[in-house]
Amino acid sequence: MADELPNLSGGCHCGAVRYTILEPPLSVQHCHCESCRKTTGCFYNTGGVMRQKKVNIEGLDNLTKYRTSKSFEIQFCRTCGCSLFAYEDGESEYFYLNLPTLDGGTYPGHPREVESHAHVRSKAPWEYISDEIPQFEREGPGEIITEIQKADI
Protein backbone atom coordinates (compact mmCIF):
# COMPACT_ATOMS: atom_id res chain seq x y z
CA MET A 1 0.00 0.00 0.00
CA ALA A 2 2.71 2.45 1.03
CA ASP A 3 4.52 1.73 -2.19
CA GLU A 4 1.64 2.62 -4.46
CA LEU A 5 2.58 5.52 -6.64
CA PRO A 6 0.20 8.44 -6.36
CA ASN A 7 2.34 10.70 -8.59
CA LEU A 8 0.80 13.80 -7.13
CA SER A 9 2.19 17.22 -8.02
CA GLY A 10 2.52 20.36 -6.01
CA GLY A 11 4.59 23.47 -5.62
CA CYS A 12 4.79 27.02 -4.40
CA HIS A 13 2.40 29.83 -5.27
CA CYS A 14 4.48 31.36 -8.07
CA GLY A 15 5.33 28.01 -9.66
CA ALA A 16 9.13 28.38 -9.56
CA VAL A 17 9.47 25.33 -7.31
CA ARG A 18 7.57 22.19 -8.29
CA TYR A 19 7.59 18.65 -6.95
CA THR A 20 6.02 15.25 -7.49
CA ILE A 21 5.47 12.71 -4.70
CA LEU A 22 5.75 9.07 -5.68
CA GLU A 23 4.21 7.64 -2.50
CA PRO A 24 2.01 8.89 0.34
CA PRO A 25 3.71 10.44 3.39
CA LEU A 26 4.71 7.97 6.12
CA SER A 27 3.22 10.21 8.81
CA VAL A 28 1.72 13.69 8.99
CA GLN A 29 2.28 16.22 11.78
CA HIS A 30 0.16 19.31 12.19
CA CYS A 31 2.80 21.11 14.22
CA HIS A 32 1.74 23.95 16.52
CA CYS A 33 5.21 24.88 17.83
CA GLU A 34 6.23 28.52 17.93
CA SER A 35 8.83 27.96 15.23
CA CYS A 36 6.17 26.69 12.80
CA ARG A 37 3.83 29.55 13.68
CA LYS A 38 6.54 32.15 13.13
CA THR A 39 7.77 30.74 9.83
CA THR A 40 4.36 30.17 8.25
CA GLY A 41 2.27 32.94 9.79
CA CYS A 42 -0.36 30.30 10.58
CA PHE A 43 -1.51 28.49 13.72
CA TYR A 44 0.24 25.34 12.56
CA ASN A 45 2.32 23.82 9.82
CA THR A 46 1.29 20.54 8.19
CA GLY A 47 4.40 18.54 7.34
CA GLY A 48 4.48 15.03 5.97
CA VAL A 49 7.45 12.75 6.58
CA MET A 50 8.59 11.64 3.12
CA ARG A 51 11.38 9.44 1.84
CA GLN A 52 13.72 11.75 -0.06
CA LYS A 53 14.07 9.30 -2.92
CA LYS A 54 10.29 9.27 -3.36
CA VAL A 55 10.01 13.00 -4.06
CA ASN A 56 11.21 14.69 -7.25
CA ILE A 57 11.87 18.40 -6.88
CA GLU A 58 12.29 20.92 -9.70
CA GLY A 59 13.43 24.52 -9.22
CA LEU A 60 15.94 23.83 -6.44
CA ASP A 61 17.81 27.01 -7.49
CA ASN A 62 14.84 29.07 -6.39
CA LEU A 63 14.82 27.75 -2.82
CA THR A 64 16.10 29.83 0.07
CA LYS A 65 17.26 28.12 3.24
CA TYR A 66 16.68 29.25 6.79
CA ARG A 67 17.73 27.54 10.00
CA THR A 68 15.11 27.67 12.73
CA SER A 69 17.44 25.91 15.17
CA LYS A 70 20.98 24.55 15.26
CA SER A 71 19.95 21.35 13.49
CA PHE A 72 16.77 22.19 11.54
CA GLU A 73 16.55 23.90 8.18
CA ILE A 74 13.44 24.98 6.31
CA GLN A 75 13.40 25.76 2.61
CA PHE A 76 11.05 28.20 0.96
CA CYS A 77 10.60 29.81 -2.43
CA ARG A 78 12.73 32.92 -2.76
CA THR A 79 10.14 34.53 -5.03
CA CYS A 80 6.79 33.94 -3.32
CA GLY A 81 7.92 32.93 0.18
CA CYS A 82 6.04 29.64 0.27
CA SER A 83 7.49 27.25 2.86
CA LEU A 84 7.89 23.85 1.19
CA PHE A 85 10.49 21.53 2.74
CA ALA A 86 12.34 20.98 6.01
CA TYR A 87 15.40 18.91 6.86
CA GLU A 88 16.91 17.64 10.11
CA ASP A 89 20.71 17.58 10.16
CA GLY A 90 22.00 14.03 10.32
CA GLU A 91 18.96 12.57 8.54
CA SER A 92 19.67 11.59 4.96
CA GLU A 93 16.68 9.35 4.19
CA TYR A 94 13.63 11.33 5.32
CA PHE A 95 12.50 14.94 5.23
CA TYR A 96 9.35 17.01 5.68
CA LEU A 97 7.18 18.27 2.86
CA ASN A 98 4.43 20.80 3.52
CA LEU A 99 1.49 18.82 2.18
CA PRO A 100 -1.05 21.65 1.78
CA THR A 101 1.08 22.78 -1.18
CA LEU A 102 -0.19 19.86 -3.28
CA ASP A 103 -2.03 21.20 -6.32
CA GLY A 104 -5.73 21.67 -5.74
CA GLY A 105 -5.37 20.71 -2.06
CA THR A 106 -5.24 17.06 -3.12
CA TYR A 107 -5.30 14.46 -0.35
CA PRO A 108 -1.85 12.84 -0.28
CA GLY A 109 -3.13 9.30 0.23
CA HIS A 110 -1.87 8.34 3.69
CA PRO A 111 -4.08 6.53 6.24
CA ARG A 112 -5.75 9.08 8.54
CA GLU A 113 -4.37 7.21 11.57
CA VAL A 114 -0.86 8.49 10.88
CA GLU A 115 -1.90 12.13 11.39
CA SER A 116 -1.34 13.98 14.66
CA HIS A 117 -1.44 17.44 16.19
CA ALA A 118 2.09 17.87 17.51
CA HIS A 119 3.59 20.28 20.06
CA VAL A 120 0.10 21.28 21.15
CA ARG A 121 1.46 22.68 24.43
CA SER A 122 3.04 25.46 22.34
CA LYS A 123 -0.07 26.39 20.40
CA ALA A 124 -1.46 29.93 20.48
CA PRO A 125 -3.88 30.08 23.44
CA TRP A 126 -6.68 31.39 21.23
CA GLU A 127 -6.38 28.57 18.71
CA TYR A 128 -9.26 26.11 19.07
CA ILE A 129 -8.55 22.61 17.73
CA SER A 130 -11.91 21.12 16.86
CA ASP A 131 -11.13 17.97 14.88
CA GLU A 132 -10.72 14.36 16.00
CA ILE A 133 -7.04 13.99 15.17
CA PRO A 134 -5.01 12.87 18.24
CA GLN A 135 -3.17 15.66 20.04
CA PHE A 136 0.32 15.43 21.54
CA GLU A 137 1.90 17.91 23.95
CA ARG A 138 5.29 17.49 22.29
CA GLU A 139 6.43 15.27 19.40
CA GLY A 140 3.82 13.43 17.37
CA PRO A 141 4.19 9.76 16.33
CA GLY A 142 6.44 9.35 13.32
CA GLU A 143 8.24 12.67 13.70
CA ILE A 144 11.84 12.66 12.55
CA ILE A 145 14.00 12.43 15.67
CA THR A 146 17.73 12.39 14.98
CA GLU A 147 20.64 11.55 17.24
CA ILE A 148 21.60 15.23 17.04
CA GLN A 149 18.23 16.25 18.45
CA LYS A 150 18.42 13.63 21.20
CA ALA A 151 21.78 15.05 22.23
CA ASP A 152 20.19 18.51 22.34
CA ILE A 153 17.35 17.56 24.69
Round to whole Å and give the CA distance between 22 and 3: 8
The verdict on 80 binding Zn ion (CB under 5 A) reads: yes
79 interacts with Zn ion by CB under 5 A: yes
Smallest separation, CB 111 to Zn ion (Å):
22
User: With binding defined as CB under 5 A, does residue 86 bind Zn ion?
Assistant: no
Query: Nearest distance from residue 86's CB to Zn ion, in Å?
Result: 9
The amino acid at residue 59 is G
Could you tell me which stretch among 2-10, 23-31, 86-94, 140-148 binds Zn ion (CB under 5 A)?
23-31
How crowded is the C-beta side of 106, counted as CA atoms within 13 Å?
Answer: 15
74 forms part of the interface with Zn ion (CB under 5 A) = no
Instruction: By CB under 5 A, tell whether 12 contacts Zn ion.
Output: yes
Q: Does 26 bind Zn ion (CB under 5 A)?
A: no
Query: Do residues 62 and 77 make contact, with C-beta atoms less than 8 angstroms apart?
Result: yes
Q: Are 108 and 102 in contact (CB under 8 A)?
A: yes
Residue pair 116/141 in contact (Cβ under 8 Å)? The answer is yes
CB of 145 to Zn ion, least distance (A): 13
Going by C-alpha positions, the residue among 50, 33, 28 that lies closest to residue 138 is 33
CB of 44 to Zn ion, least distance (A): 7
Sites of contact with Zn ion (CB under 5 A): 12, 14, 16, 31, 33, 36, 77, 79-80
